[in-house]
Amino acid sequence: MISAMTQRIRPLLLVLFLAMVSNSVVVCTSRHQYWRPSDGPEGASYCLSWRLAVEANNVRAWRTVPTQCLRHVESYMIGGQYDRDINFIIDHVISYLDGVDLSNDGLDAWILDVDDTCISNLIYYKGKRFGCDPYDPDGFKTWALRGGCPAIPGVLRLFNKLISDGFKVFLVTGRDESTFGQATLDNLQNQGFIGYQRLILRSAAYKGQSAVVYKSEIREQLEEEGYRIWGNVGDQWSDLQGNCTGNRTFKLPNPLYFVP
Amino acid sequence: MISAMTQRIRPLLLVLFLAMVSNSVVVCTSRHQYWRPSDGPEGASYCLSWRLAVEANNVRAWRTVPTQCLRHVESYMIGGQYDRDINFIIDHVISYLDGVDLSNDGLDAWILDVDDTCISNLIYYKGKRFGCDPYDPDGFKTWALRGGCPAIPGVLRLFNKLISDGFKVFLVTGRDESTFGQATLDNLQNQGFIGYQRLILRSAAYKGQSAVVYKSEIREQLEEEGYRIWGNVGDQWSDLQGNCTGNRTFKLPNPLYFVP
């Protein structure tokens, strides 16, 4: 009986199936569809504006992600677009690299930031409501001392390309040297960042300085040593501003926190 | 016959209808849904990455919008998000203004770019496939000489606030002075930009110079005249880089074209 009915309605089922499929496509490709996390379209628009303003360095010195953007930032970070944005930029860096004319004097340098550039704190920030919770120095210390930050795959790909091209790669981080020195070395090693020239952490001399001032001074010292800084990649504008910023700078996305 | 069959399959139709509806809803509100113009989800992700990279100054010296991003850029520009992004930034500029301590010496200055900062070329770019067509100097000349660029409402709101707060507002544009001087004056006037200190166009002395060099020199001259540049708003990174950039810079979105 069921089989006979199925036979009879097969053409109808096909039409309905096609309607179902095409409807989904029409609904989801219509012009005004924005990415809609659970805060609804209006909230999503606000959070799109907020995130763009953060990435273009219009919004500065922000302490936490706006609570209404929790789901937006979560979706962005773990839904695939963050990874795609990173890979897009890294592909672009690699195109730039192809046009760089290296000398053989061993002084062609490249600078990479560490946190959320080479290695990711996303797992930690999942537990901090994707940046909606205020900065927790003790919590971060416990996390970072474990040395378990995973590599950001796109940046590891760039790192390996830089090393094989013959660049001297300097990893420059605002992490405190005495507290995080060994854990950071171990973490970079266990994630495959091998062959860099120097890992530079914040020594006592730079304690309390802003990242812009501290990192500018480090880059100035490298230039005084004779290095030519061809490129500089970081997730914070403070990695990329100040003096001796490098021939090209590249800003990776980070909607989770702000470092002055 | 058909009626009898419909009777029999009614429950099935209901189930299929519910499946169809719920499927659409699930597809369109699930976590990984991004804004999807007609270029499909993969294209949309690519264009989101491209636009973010442009706004964060990672992609530079681009000549045209990638053809596959035509619908994405169109939707962004005319679908409301561009306006929301502008207004978000302008609200943020106004918060910053509230913290500025003005003196009474008449030397507190503010710089605004003109094209796609004060007044919009969006109508023109609609006819140029939203930047997918290459730059057409003759076409742009004809358009700009008409003096019909509409004000960008958020920026006009900022302008009026700056004037009423007592800032000396300088409008600095890369437009050629001899060609566009009168048309630009008229256009700004007919759009309500009234009461600014000076409109500075590119004189013969700066012909052929990059915007960064030309605009830096103009700002240097203003500082030599004693002005304090509190803020600087433009849609191009070349408006905001170089020397004497101002105490704060604000980058408005522009995915239509790049000015070096």
Per residue in B192-248, pLDDT tens? Answer: 999 999 999 999 999 999 999 999 999 999 999 999 999 999 999 999 999 999 999
Which residue, among B81, B67, B80, has the nearest Cα to B38 in the 3D structure? B67
Please report, rounded to a whole number, the percentage of residues in chain A having pLDDT higher than 70: 84
Binary contact (A84, B45; C-beta < 8 A):
yes
Mutate to test the interface with B, among A2, A6, A30, A34 (most CBs of B within 10 A): A34
A88 vs B20, B36, B50: nearest CB = B50
**Structure confidence by residue, pLDDT tens digits, A200-217:** 999 999 999 999 999 999
How near does any CA of chain A get to the CA of B5, in Å? 8
How close A60 gets to chain B, by Cα (Å)? 10
Structural domains present in chain B: 80-251 (3.40.50.1000)
Q: What is the pLDDT of residues B76-99, one digit of tens each?
A: 999 999 999 999 999 999 999 999
Q: Are A247 and A230 in contact (CB under 8 A)?
A: yes
What is the CB-side half-sphere exposure of residue B196 using CA atoms within 13 A?
Answer: 22
Starting at the earlier edge strand, list the strands of the sheet with B228-234: B198-202, B168-176, B108-112, B228-234, B248-251
8 Å CB contact of A84 and B49: yes
In the sheet where A248-251 sits, what is the strand order? A198-202, A168-176, A108-112, A228-234, A248-251
Q: Do B27 and A27 touch (CB under 8 A)?
A: yes
Place of tokens 């266990």: A190
Yes or no, beta carbons of B81 and A57 under 8 Å apart:
no
Average pLDDT value for residue range A16-32: 33
Mean pLDDT of A127-141: 98
Q: Do A24 and B24 touch (CB under 8 A)?
A: yes
Closest CA in chain B for residue A36 = B29
The tokens describing B102, both together, are: 């003005």
Please give the average per-residue pLDDT across B34-48, as a whole number: 66
Counting one residue from chain A and one from chain B, the pairs whose CB atoms sit within 8 A come to: 131
Residue position matching structure tokens 């007609």: B38
Res A41: pLDDT: 60
Among A103-117, A171-185, B24-38, B189-203, the range scoring the smallest mean pLDDT is B24-38
Which pLDDT belongs to residue A104?
87
Of the listed ranges A54-63, B24-33, B66-75, B102-111, the one predicted with least confidence: B24-33
CA–CA gap between residue A213 and residue B224 (Å, rounded)? 26
Question: Best residue in B14, B25, B52, B81 to probe A by mutation, most A CBs within 10 Å?
Answer: B52
A18-27, A65-74, A189-198, A247-256 — which is least confidently predicted? A18-27
pLDDT of residue A37 exceeding 90: no
Would you tell me the crossing angle of helices A40-55 and A70-78 to the nearest 10 degrees?
A: 70
With a pLDDT cut of 70, the percent of chain B lying above it is 84
Mean pLDDT of chain B, nearest integer: 88
- Map residue B183 onto helix, strand or coil: helix
User: What integer pLDDT is reported at residue B40 of this predicted model?
Assistant: 54
B253 to A52: CB separation less than 8 angstroms, yes or no: yes
Q: Out of A16, A24, A79, name the one closest to residue B31 (CB).
A: A79
Residue B251 has pLDDT above 60, yes or no: yes
Which residues of chain A lie closer than 8 angstroms to B61, CB-CB?
none
**For residues A150-179, average pLDDT:** 98
Q: Which of A40-44, A229-233, B103-107, B186-190 has the lowest mean pLDDT?
A: A40-44
Separation CA A191–CA B174 (nearest Å)? 48
Residue B32: the pLDDT is 34
Does residue A149 surpass a pLDDT of 80? Answer: yes
Alpha-carbon gap, residue B76 to B59, rounded angstroms: 18
What band does B21 get if pLDDT is binned at 50, 70 and 90? very low
Taking contacts as CB-CB distances below 8 angstroms, the residues of chain A near B27 are 24, 27-28
Provide, rounded to the nearest whole percent, the portion of chain B with pLDDT above 90. 83
**Distance between B181 CA and the closest CA of chain A, angstroms:** 31
pLDDT digits (tens, 9 = 90+) for B120-159: 999 999 999 999 999 999 999 999 999 999 999 999 999 9
Picking from B19, B32, B92, the nearest residue to A59 by CB comes out as B92
pLDDT band at B104 (very low <50, low <70, confident <90, very high): confident
What CA–CA distance (Å, rounded) separates B239 from B61?
14
Instruction: Say yes or no for a CB contact (<8 Å) between A35 and B38.
Output: no
Is A32 close to B89, i.e. CB distance below 8 A?
A: no
Q: Is the dihedral of CA B48, B54, B193, B187 positive or negative?
A: negative
**Structure-token match 């001297």, residue found:** A168
- The whole-number average pLDDT for the span B63-79 is 98
Report whether pLDDT(A175) > 70. yes
Nearest CA in chain B to A76: B32
Residues in chain A with CB shorter than 8 Å from the CB of B52 are 52, 55, 85, 88, 253
Is there a contact between B117 and B233 (Cβ–Cβ < 8 Å)? yes
For residue B236, give both structure tokens: 């191009």
B85/A5 CB distance under 8 A: no
Return the pLDDT at B95. Answer: 98
The reported pLDDT for the residue numbered B164 is 98
The pLDDT, as a whole number, for residue A62 is 98
Long-range contacts of A32-37 (CB under 8 A, 24+ apart): A32/B75, A32/B79, A32/B80, A33/B28, A33/B33, A33/B35, A33/B36, A34/B34, A34/B35, A34/B81, A35/A72, A35/A75, A35/A81, A35/B33, A35/B34, A35/B35, A36/B28, A36/B29, A36/B33, A37/A71, A37/A72, A37/A74, A37/A75, A37/B31
Rounded to the nearest angstrom, the minimum Cα separation between A142 and chain B is 31
Q: In the prediction, which pLDDT does B72 show?
A: 98
CA-wise closest residue to B256 among B89, B69, B8, B57: B69
Give the integer Cα–Cα distance in Å for A29 and A24: 9
Residue from the list A49, A87, A251 with its beta carbon closest to the beta carbon of B85: A49
Amino acid at A59: V
Provide the token pair at A76: 């962005």
Higher-pLDDT residue of B118 and A34 is: B118
Subunit contact A24:B19, Cβ cutoff 8 A = no
d(CA B193, CA B26): 48
Chain B residues near residue A56 by CB distance under 8 angstroms: 55-56, 251, 253
ipTM of the complex, rounded to two decimals = 0.85
